[in-house]
Structure 1
Amino acid sequence: MSIFDQPKIDCHNHILDPAGFAYGTDTPYSPSGHEIGTAAQFAAVREVYGVRHALIVGPNSGYNEDNRCLLDAIARSNGGCRGIAVVPNQVSRAELERLKAAGIAGVAFNATYHSVAHYLDTTALLQMLAELDLFVQVQVEGDQLLELAPLLLASRVRILIDHCGRPVPELGLNQPGFQALLSLTDTGRCFVKLSGQAKFSRQSYPWDDTRPFVQALLQAFTPDACIWGSDWPFLRAPERMDYGLLLKLLEELIPDTDDRHRVLWQTPRQLLGF
């Protein structure tokens, strides 16, 4: 069965609608032009490609801790979408409960944007996330996970790693940060997004230098702990991106139809409660 005929859940994408929800004045980057992607536009993309559900990620660009656009997109989806919110480290439990009731599945930690140090005071936040059965979604690059891992391991929270952990391709599979990611399989509560190759590749599509990392993650975590995301509408993409090409690439990376079904549908459906 072709990947285009299989049911799919896109687990990493963004909604950016400055006409409907103005960007904050304190955000360092304001997406524009082809980077803008409204809820209506994403709904059309999903329909064309047979993407039945989506996990929308609140972006630091444009909105930072303003989740109004994200929550509006979830509400418009009639149960089709859930979200990952950006919140301050000192967010209250009541606010987390409100967000969860509105369709939020977890909270984003983006060390590539804020640095690891920004998150070292989040023990209380991680405890609340665990108690509320919310994820911590972690974006790191290089060896950043080494410093962040002890904090995550000490908590009971479920962990969702963005973009394959963004390793450095030329340093190979044995680089410490990537090995730290592989070791998180022992927790039984860590999941990985097979996404964002363009963010850490040194090459153009199909990003061949990232393939060994994707295969290593599939082997270590298995399709029962791996999910897929497009990163639509491709903020700061280094070159032209196309949704269909991303799906075709995943079909090549996971040629077995049953394994693809687990990554694209079964695992994220169970994980996110669709």
Structure 2
Amino acid sequence: MNIFDEPKIDCHNHLFDPARFPYHPAAPYAPSGQEVATLEQFSQLMDAYGVRHALLVGPNSGYHTDNRCLLHALAAGQGRLRGVAVVEPDIGIDQLAALKEQGVVGVAFNPALYGVEVMQGAQACLGKLAELGMFAQVQVCEDQLLRLQGLLERNPVRVLIDHCGRPDVRAGLQQSGFQALLKLASCGRVSVKLSGMQKFAASEDLLGQSRAYVHALIAAFGADACVWGSDWPFIRQRSRVDYGPLLKLAEQLMPDPQLRRKIMWDTPRRLFGFS
């Protein structure tokens, strides 16, 4: 059995449907053209590649804190999908609980886009997420995690780190930000997405430039705290990215079928409550 036939859960992807759900005026970017990605298109893609479930991430681009597109998809998916929402920092616990009832498992924080300052004042929100057993999904890049490590270690919230921590491949495995990420494995509350290689590695050498980082993360966190994601529909990419080659990349990065099954199926089913 190859990776196309194996059961899979895609743990990082987005929907953009401006015809049905107009974009938020405060969004930093408005996806268009081939970046538009409807639920119907994503469902076809999942069926074509044998992806049984998906964790939809509410995007800062397009929708900002408007989660209507995300919630519509979760309702239509009838258990096939779970979601990560983008919310205002002062959201109430009752509002978070209502999102959880609709299939939202966490809230996204994006220092990589907005700077680490976006986490200032997040303590209260993190506490509410912890109380509800939800995730704080955090996207950082390069050495940003150094300034957030203490906050994430002190707070009891479950943490989900995006895109391998988006290291600087020129700086090597010993760079401070990536080492800070590896140290978070000892918390027991932190999981990491083996995703977004195209965000930090050169398109012509995704395997060569990402392999050492992926293997280091698997070694530190273990397969019980690693999941895989595609980042479909690949917005703001400087060169073409396709879903099939990313699946083959995952197969090359994780050649052991038993390891792949754990990271791409067993672990996300358990973490995000897929039946």
TM-score relative to the length of structure 2: 0.98
User: How far apart, in 2, do the equivalents of 1:22 and 1:160 lie?
Assistant: 28
| Cα displacement (A) at 1:205 | 4.8
1:26 aligns to 2:26 (yes or no) = yes
Equivalent residue, structure 2, for 1:60: 60
- 2:75 equivalent in structure 1: 75
Does 1:111 find its partner at 2:121?
A: no
Specify the SS of the correspondent of 1:12: strand
Contact kept, 8 Å, 2:207 with 2:253, in 1: the verdict is no
Alpha-carbon distance between aligned partners in 1 of 2:43 and 2:125, rounded to the nearest angstrom: 32
2:148 maps to 148
Structure 2: 5+ residue stretches without partners: none
Count residues with an aligned counterpart: 274
Gaps of 5+ in 1: none
Aligned-partner Cα distance in 2 for 1:70–1:17: 10
Structure 1 counterpart of 2:168: 168
Q: In structure 2, how many angstroms separate the alpha carbons of the residues matched to 1:72 and 1:204?
A: 37
1:56 match: secondary structure: strand
Structure 2 distance, partners of 1:202, 1:44, is 28
Q: Deviations over 1:122-173 (max 9, x none)?
A: 1111111000000000000011001111111111011100000000001000
Q: Once structures 1 and 2 are overlaid, which stretch shifts more, 94-103 or 196-205? A: 196-205
Partner of 1:267: 267
Question: Aligned letter for 2:34?
Answer: H
Question: Offset of 1:185 from its aligned partner?
Answer: 0.8
C-alpha separation between the residues in 2 aligned to 1:76 and 1:237?
A: 29
> Structure 1, residues 53-96: CA drift from partner, whole Å, max 9, x if none?
00000000010000000000111111100000000111111110
**Partners of 1:160 and 1:190 within 8 A in 2:** yes
Which residue identity lines up with residue 48 of structure 1 in the other structure?
A
Give, in whole Å, the separation in 1 of the partners of 2:208 and 2:151: 33
* CA distance in structure 2 between the aligned counterparts of 1:15 and 1:29, rounded to whole angstroms: 14
Structure 2 match to 1:238: 238
Output the CA distance in 1 between the equivalents of 2:59 and 2:168: 23
Over 4 Å off, 4+ runs: none
| TM-aligned CA deviation for residue 203 of structure 1 | 4.5
The answer on whether the counterparts of 2:207 and 2:249 sit within 8 Å (CA) in structure 1 is no
SS in 2 for 1:204: helix
**What CA RMSD, in Å, does the superposition of the two structures yield over aligned residues?**
0.9
Counterpart Cα distance in 1 of 2:204 and 2:158: 33
1:265 is matched by which residue type in structure 2?
A: W
Residue 107 of structure 2 aligns to a residue in which SS? strand
Question: What amino acid is aligned across from residue 19 of structure 2 in structure 1?
Answer: A
Determine helix, strand or coil for the equivalent of 2:241.
coil
For the residues of structure 1 that align with 2:207 and 2:119, how far apart are their CA atoms? 31
Shift of 1:204: 2.4
Q: Measure how far apart 1:28 and its partner are.
A: 2.3
Contact 1:169 1:202 in 2 (8 A): no
Q: How far is 1:206 from its partner?
A: 3.0
C-alpha spacing 1:243/1:29, structure 2 compared with 1 (3 Å): same
Q: Say whether the 8 Å CA contact 1:30–1:61 is kept in structure 2.
A: yes
8 Å CA contact 1:203, 1:209 repeated in 2: no
Give 2:14's aligned residue. Answer: 14
* Code of the aligned partner of 2:248: K
Identity of counterpart residues, as a percentage?
Answer: 54
Listed one character per residue, the Cα deviations across residues 212-253 of structure 1 (whole Å, up to 9, x for unaligned) are: 111111111111111000001111112111111110010011
Distance 1:176 1:119 in 2: 20
What is the aligned partner in structure 2 of residue 250 from structure 1?
250
User: 2:110–2:118: 8 Å Cα contact kept in structure 1?
Assistant: no
The whole-number CA distance in structure 2 between the counterparts of 1:92 and 1:56 is 22
8 Å contact from structure 1 (residues 120, 151) kept in 2:
no
